[in-house]
Amino acid sequence: MPLSQGPNVLLTQGVTSNVTLLSGTSQATRNITQGRNDFSSIHNRISSLQAKKRVQRKKKQASTESDEEWQVTAYATADEYDLNKLLDGLTHQGLYVSAGINPDASDVLHMVATYRVETENREIYFFREGSVVFWNVPEIERDNVLRFLKKYETGRYDEEAVEEECESLTYAYSDLPTKTRLVKDKIILNTEGQTDLEKYTFSNAMAMSVKLGIWESSLDKYIEKIEYVSEELSKTGRVVLTQDQVLQKMGQLFALRHLINLSSDLLDTPDFYWDHAELEQLYQKTANHLNISKRTSVMNVKLSHCIELMELLTSHLNEKHSARLEWIIIILIMVEVGFELLHYIERLL
């Protein structure tokens, strides 16, 4: 409601000015309060940040649609297999016989069942890097083989992770004049081609994929374990790990990065395919279908982020240690000066 004008204009103007000033002050106070609320909201959101969980890739759960289709399944169960002892064990067991592939493929053991349940052979490819691929092997038989493998493994993986990261496709044969190929989740093998080498190629790509899946799972578990570190750092500005713990976690990261980039063929095509151009195309197409290259890149980005965090913590702890040493030196100097003063006073007295 407007103020009515009267004889005391100056008084009215003064009151109006005071009201305006009070209104402005109130508005400023509301703005400051709102700003604080906004900052608090932002801080809460930052504090509750968590690493995005890796969405479990939808595994290719193959289903046999007819008698002319079979299943191929891959597992990564350990860091490494002792293929020589494994061959002796399987030969002694008498259920499988060795069926060589190619002299250039020295890091794989190809076994074929000695007896047939149906027209299609049951075959197994054991890769030295700790992966195994089954062709037309029933689940019960696969489980028996996986249990048998334990005594020949180095660095066995968690069984739950092994089951979660397995890959399955279907395969069939074709008499048509077309090359062996991968169509969606189905492998079409040309009966006129080098079937054993082609099966090895598909197995190689699938073995690489399940191995990568195990490493992805390991990195996800690592990230979950260090989430509280960044959260505590954002809330309190304190590092909750000791120097030794930070170095240990840094070592784990570099070990995983070494496995991915230096000890595997994830970033390059295996040497075997240099002299087998057609097989190289099959390998590349299968690897692309399983997103091996993209998944490797994502893993390296995550690793880089984790390493940056550990380097930040290391730098902070080093600075803190240096500051502590400086204070110790200052205190020692002060003590020394104190003693000198006492000696000086004693001489004066």
Helices (H), 121-194: 139-149, 159-164
SS3 call for 296: helix
- Using left for φ > 0, alpha for ψ between -120 and 50, and beta otherwise, residue 258 falls in alpha
pLDDT value for 42 = 36
pLDDT value for 52 = 57
The predicted-structure confidence for 179-209, as pLDDT tens digits, reads as follows 899 998 899 998 877 788 999 999 999 999 9
Q: Are 321 and 247 in contact (CB under 8 A)?
A: no
- Using left for φ > 0, alpha for ψ between -120 and 50, and beta otherwise, residue 153 falls in beta
pLDDT value for 114 = 92
pLDDT value for 59 = 55
Residue 293's CB is within 10 A of a number of other CB atoms, namely 13
What's the rounded mean pLDDT across residues 48-58? 54
Terminal CA-CA length for the chain: 87
- Rounded to the nearest 10°, the torsion over CA 336, 338, 343, 344 is 110
pTM of the model: 0.74
Q: Give me the percent of the chain exceeding a pLDDT of 70.
A: 81
Instruction: Give the closest residue to 260 by CA, choosing from 325, 216, 316, 195.
Output: 216
Mean pLDDT over the full length of the chain = 81
- How many Cα neighbours within 13 Å face the side chain of 180? 25
Q: How many helices (H) and strands (E) does the chain have?
A: 8, 10
